[in-house]
Structure 1
Amino acid sequence: MHDIRPLIPLLVTAGILIGGNGLQGTFVSLRALEEGFSASVIGVIGTGYFLGFVIGCVYVTKIMRAIGHIRTFSALAAIASAASIAMALVIDPFSWFLMRLVQGICFAGLFAVVESWLNARVTNATRARTLSVYRFVDLGAVTMAQYLIPLVGLSGFDLFAIISMILTLSLVPISFADRSSPAPPEDVKFDVKVLWSISPLATIGCIVIGLTNSSFRSLGPIYADGIGMSVTAIATFMSIGIFAGIVLQYPLGHYSDKLDRRVIILVATFGAAASSAYLAFFAGDGELANFIGIFAFGAFALPLYSLCSAHANDHAAPGQHALVSAGTLFFWSLGAVIGPLFASFLIDLFGPHALFVYIIVVLGTFMIYTLFRITIREGVPVEERRMRFRSLLRTSFFFSKLATPPAKRDDR
Structure 2
Amino acid sequence: MSQIRLLVPLLVTAGILIGGNGLQGTFISLRASHEGFSTSLIGLVGAGYNIGFAVGCIYVTRILRAIGHIRTFSAMAAIASASSISMLLVIDPTFWFLMRLLSGLCFASLFATVESWLNASVTNANRARTLSVYRLVDLGSVTAAQYLIPGVGIGGFQLFAIVSMALTLSLVPISLADRSSPIAPDAIRFNVKKLWNISPLATIGCIVVGLTNAAFRSLGPIYGQEIGMSVTAIANFMSAGIIGGVVLQYPLGLYSDKLDRRVIILIATFGATAAALFLAIYAGSDEWLNMAGIFVFGAFAMPLYSLCSAHANDHAGEGEHALVSAGMLFFWSIGAIIGPLFASVLLDMFGPGSLFTYTAVVMVGFMAYTVLRMTARPGVPAEQRHGRFRNLLRTSAFFNKLAGDSRNGEER
Query: TM-score, normalised to structure 2's length?
Result: 0.98
CA distance in 1, matches of 2:95, 2:130: 39
For residue 63 of structure 1, report the CA deviation from its aligned partner.
0.3
CA distance in 2, matches of 1:374, 1:55: 33
Match of 1:378 in 2: 378
Provide the aligned length of Structure 1 versus Structure 2. 409
**Structure 1 counterpart of 2:220, which letter?**
G
CA distance in 2, matches of 1:183, 1:137: 25
Q: Which moved more, 1:341-350 or 1:169-178?
A: 169-178
Please give the secondary structure, in 1, of the residue aligned with 2:177: coil
| 8 Å Cα contact 1:7-1:177 kept in structure 2 | no
Match of 2:82 in 1: 82
CA distance in 2, matches of 1:236, 1:229: 10
CA distance in 1, matches of 2:407, 2:377: 30
Match of 2:396 in 1: 396
For residue 177 of structure 1, report the CA deviation from its aligned partner.
3.4
CA distance in 2, matches of 1:164, 1:345: 30
CA distance in 2, matches of 1:190, 1:31: 36
Q: Kindly tell me: are residues 252 and 193 of structure 1, through their superposed partners in 2, closer, same or farther at Cα, counting changes over 3 Å?
A: same
**Structure 1 counterpart of 2:262, which letter?**
R
Match of 2:158 in 1: 158
CA distance in 1, matches of 2:56, 2:332: 13
**Structure 1 counterpart of 2:162, which letter?**
I
Match of 1:52 in 2: 52
| 8 Å Cα contact 1:273-1:363 kept in structure 2 | yes
CA distance in 1, matches of 2:137, 2:291: 23
Q: Does 1:337 align with 2:343?
A: no
| 8 Å Cα contact 2:51-2:333 kept in structure 1 | yes
Q: Does 1:316 align with 2:316?
A: yes
Please give the secondary structure, in 1, of the residue aligned with 2:193: helix
| 8 Å Cα contact 1:346-1:355 kept in structure 2 | yes
Q: Return 5+ residue gaps in structure 2 as ranges.
A: none
Match of 1:170 in 2: 170
Match of 1:131 in 2: 131
CA distance in 2, matches of 1:39, 1:180: 46
Q: Kindly tell me: are residues 407 and 42 of structure 1, through their superposed partners in 2, closer, same or farther at Cα, counting changes over 3 Å?
A: closer
Match of 2:204 in 1: 204
Deviations 1:178-218 (A, max 9, x none): 31100011001011111100000000000000000000000
CA distance in 1, matches of 2:313, 2:404: 12
Q: Return 5+ residue gaps in structure 1 as ranges.
A: none
Match of 2:270 in 1: 270
For residue 40 of structure 1, report the CA deviation from its aligned partner.
0.2
| 8 Å Cα contact 1:208-1:366 kept in structure 2 | yes
CA distance in 2, matches of 1:236, 1:408: 37
**Structure 2 counterpart of 1:254, which letter?**
L
Match of 2:360 in 1: 360
Deviations 1:37-80 (A, max 9, x none): 11100000000000000000000000000000000000000000
Please give the secondary structure, in 2, of the residue aligned with 1:211: helix
Q: Tell me which stretches of 4 or more aligned residues in structure 1 moved more than 2 Å.
A: 405-409
CA distance in 1, matches of 2:186, 2:334: 23
Q: Does 1:115 align with 2:84?
A: no
| 8 Å Cα contact 1:6-1:178 kept in structure 2 | no
CA distance in 2, matches of 1:406, 1:273: 32
Match of 2:231 in 1: 231
For residue 331 of structure 1, report the CA deviation from its aligned partner.
0.1
**Structure 2 counterpart of 1:148, which letter?**
L
Identity of aligned residues (%): 72
CA RMSD of aligned residues (A): 0.9
**Structure 2 counterpart of 1:94, which letter?**
T
Match of 1:243 in 2: 243
Deviations 1:71-107 (A, max 9, x none): 0000000000000111000000000000000000000
CA distance in 2, matches of 1:172, 1:280: 45
Deviations 1:89-144 (A, max 9, x none): 00000000000000000000000000000000011111111011111111100010
Please give the secondary structure, in 2, of the residue aligned with 1:104: helix
Match of 1:291 in 2: 291
Match of 2:16 in 1: 16
**Structure 2 counterpart of 1:40, which letter?**
S
Match of 1:217 in 2: 217
CA distance in 2, matches of 1:24, 1:291: 21
| 8 Å Cα contact 2:387-2:407 kept in structure 1 | no
